[in-house]
């Protein structure tokens, strides 16, 4: 029996990597997150939600699963989008706590313990926040401005109290996540925002934790294009929530 699986077959943490064309980063990310998890939890699994990659990420993920019993590779022949890949993986996760993060490891893994412990302490959701005074963030001025403007728009139009909706470093109580998962319909980057907004409006407890975050030179985010798309999705979600009659936050 793998030492990371408890006697009753349950796991404490399921960590999900959404992975699209991450051949350069995946093996290193898995190795580093295994080392980090060893000091955080008694039992875990790592799920690679590989999303129709064309650069050999699928082969690397399969090899990692073959070598390590704690690694699971979920493959899609076609691109689903980051949101759908995360959703599929979350449905298959066995851990009491579901964590997900980006393969580039932009957030320092020293914050992983605080992310997991927040759920252990009773929060339903926890998210890294680059907007907290204690956080240390390295990125360009243009991206700082865009991020602040986006989060201001979400807070204003969607009545959210969360400061940073898009940091790809989150944990969830599995039971709470599954209760709202089907309501989250975004298929790509907006998935993170919709998840937190819907969780907040339903009264789930959310904790933001300070992080050390550094953006990489290579990014899949197109600042102008994605800002326009995300802005339109904020407006669409506002319309959906009003028509669904969900209560505003108190």
Coil/strand/helix, residue 42: coil
- Name the nearest CA neighbour of 61 among 49, 77, 69: 49
- With 0-12 CB in 10 A as exposed, 13-18 as middle and 19+ as buried, what is 218? exposed
The strand ranges marked E within the chain are: 11-19, 44-51, 71-76, 95-101, 125-129, 136-138, 169-173, 206-210, 212-214
How far is residue 45's CA from residue 71's CA, in Å, rounded to a whole number? 6
Residue with tokens 């449905």, as numbered in its chain:
91
> Among the options 51, 102, 104, 192, which is catalytic?
192
- Bridge partners, residue 125, by sequence: 172, 206
Is 159 assigned a catalytic role?
A: no
Q: Provide the annotated active-site residues.
A: 192
């Amino acid at each position: 029996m793998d030492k990371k699986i408890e006697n009753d077959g349950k796991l404490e943490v399921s960590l999900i990597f959404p992975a699209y064309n991450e051949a350069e980063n995946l093996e290193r990310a898995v190795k580093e997150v295994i080392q980090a998890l060893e000091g955080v939890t008694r039992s875990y699994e790592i799920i690679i939600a590989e999303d129709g990659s064309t650069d050999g990420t699928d082969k690397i993920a399969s090899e990692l699963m073959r070598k390590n019993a704690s690694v699971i590779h979920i493959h899609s022949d076609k691109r689903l989008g980051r949101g759908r890949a995360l959703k599929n993986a979350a449905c298959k996760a066995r851990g009491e706590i579901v964590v997900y993060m980006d393969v580039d490891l932009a957030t320092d893994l020293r914050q992983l313990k605080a992310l997991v412990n927040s759920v252990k302490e009773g929060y339903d959701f926890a998210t890294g926040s680059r907007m907290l005074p204690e956080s240390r963030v390295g990125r360009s001025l243009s991206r700082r401005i865009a991020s602040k403007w986006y989060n201001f728009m979400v807070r204003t139009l969607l009545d959210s109290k969360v400061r940073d909706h898009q940091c790809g470093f989150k944990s969830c109580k599995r039971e709470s996540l599954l209760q709202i998962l089907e309501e989250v319909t975004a298929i790509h980057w907006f998935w993170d925002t919709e998840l937190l907004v819907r969780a907040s409006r339903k009264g789930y407890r959310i904790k933001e934790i300070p992080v050390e975050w550094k953006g990489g030179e290579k990014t899949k985010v197109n600042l102008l294009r994605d800002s326009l798309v995300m802005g339109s999705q904020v407006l669409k979600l506002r319309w959906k929530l009003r028509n669904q009659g969900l209560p505003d936050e108190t």
